[in-house]
Structures are given as C-alpha cells and as structure tokens.
Amino acid sequence: MTGSQTIVFDLDGTLVDTAPDLITALNHVLAREGLAPVPLTSARHMIGAGARKLIERGLEVEGRQMTPAEVSRLTDDFIAFYADHIADDSRPFEGLLDALDDLAGRGHRFAVCTNKLEWLSKLLLEKLAMTDRFAAICGADTFGVSKPDPTILRQTVLKAGGDITRAIMVGDAGPDVGVARRAAIPVIGVTFGYTDVPMIELKPDRLITHMSQLPVAVEELISCVTN
C-alpha cells in the first residue's frame, strides 16, 4: 500500500453528524402514527443501516408492530420529509475539512461508501458544499448491495478511479469494519459515530477520537506497509 490512496468514508456518523435531522424525520413519522418522539441522545445508535431499518428500530422502541407494507409507507414518508430537511442541522464533524485539505495536499483521493441512498447522500453533500471533494459518492442502491458486502466497497474504489490494493476505509460502525475486512483493506475507526458497539471492540487498524487525527492515522497505515 504505497503512494496515494483512495480514502473511502462512511457518511452518517463519520463525515457528517446527521443525527439531528435523521431523528427529527423519524419523530415526524412516529408522531403521525400517534407515537411518542425518540430522544436524540438515545437514538444516535439506531442510525447507520438505512432509512427502513431506522423506522423499524423506532417502532421497536415504541413497541408498535406494523406490517412490511405499513413500514414501507412510513419509510417513504420519512424519506420525503428528510429530503426537505436534510441539512437543517447536519454538519461535518469538527476537524474534517482541515483533515481533507491536508490529505488532498498529499495526493490522496476521496470517496463515499454509505448505506444511505445515493441521491440522498449526494443531496446532503451538495447542501454542505462538499460534493467536489469526492471522486465517487455511492450508496446502498448504487450497486444493489450494502455494507458489509465487499462489492460495494470495491466498486466504489473503482468508480473513484482508484485501486483496491491502495485504499483505506474510514467508518464508525460494524459494517464499515466488516466491509474493509472482507475487501482486505485497512480500516480507521472513529469513536464519535453512531455504533451501538464501541468502536474499540471492533478492532479497527487505527482508532481516532477526532478528525484532526485522521492524516496521521492514514500516514501510519501507509508506513506500516512500506517499511
């Protein structure tokens, strides 16, 4: 793993703190069903597996049983509301933009590999004026598979013009570590995301607690292979 790398990022909980807008959208659809809102602090760990799973987890918290068709209806309502409010309160994590500038200056390229829908991912990054930083933005519907299936990661790297043998994954949860392991590339875990399993227990190759630590973590992984 030498030279410039394709650094592939998860989106929710890794690049952007999207929890406020996601949980607002969740509570919007729950309220329409006469259910109580889910508190933001306790709902952060429910994020990361896509809109439908978030709805299912929200219903589970409320003890409400619904048919697959009803869940589909709520998911459609959720996505419509969320798209209109996707960047009301969502912001890049502190230190991210400086870290990307640093790494870009070293010749690395970036891509997004998320279980969020591709069009929502692109909409969010466009609203945050971040689109141009990424050579590829791929979601769960881009290739028809989701993390941790390694196909989504391999295809994302290819779409970004990179080589899977010179790639690094950055994420906040089990699917990110899992997809990196299955694709046989190193992974950097962040501790500030939405996982219900502490990142340290998932044993990433490097662990960071702030995005300012990302450039050093990337260079350490490169150095481990070249030395």
- Type and span of the H or E element at 7: strand 6-9
Q: Which token pair is 179?
A: 């997809």
Strands 206-208 and 187-190: parallel
Taking Cα atoms as reference points, which of 7, 50, 16 lies closest to residue 193? 16
107 token code pair: 């010749």
Q: Are 180 and 187 in contact (CB under 8 A)?
A: yes
Residues 132 and 109: beta-carbon distance below 8 Å: no
Burial 176-215 (b: 16+ CB within 10 A, else e): bbbbbbebebbbbbbebbbbeeebeebebbbbbeebebbb
The phi and psi torsions of 111 (rounded to 5 degrees) equal -145, 160
Catalytic residues: 10
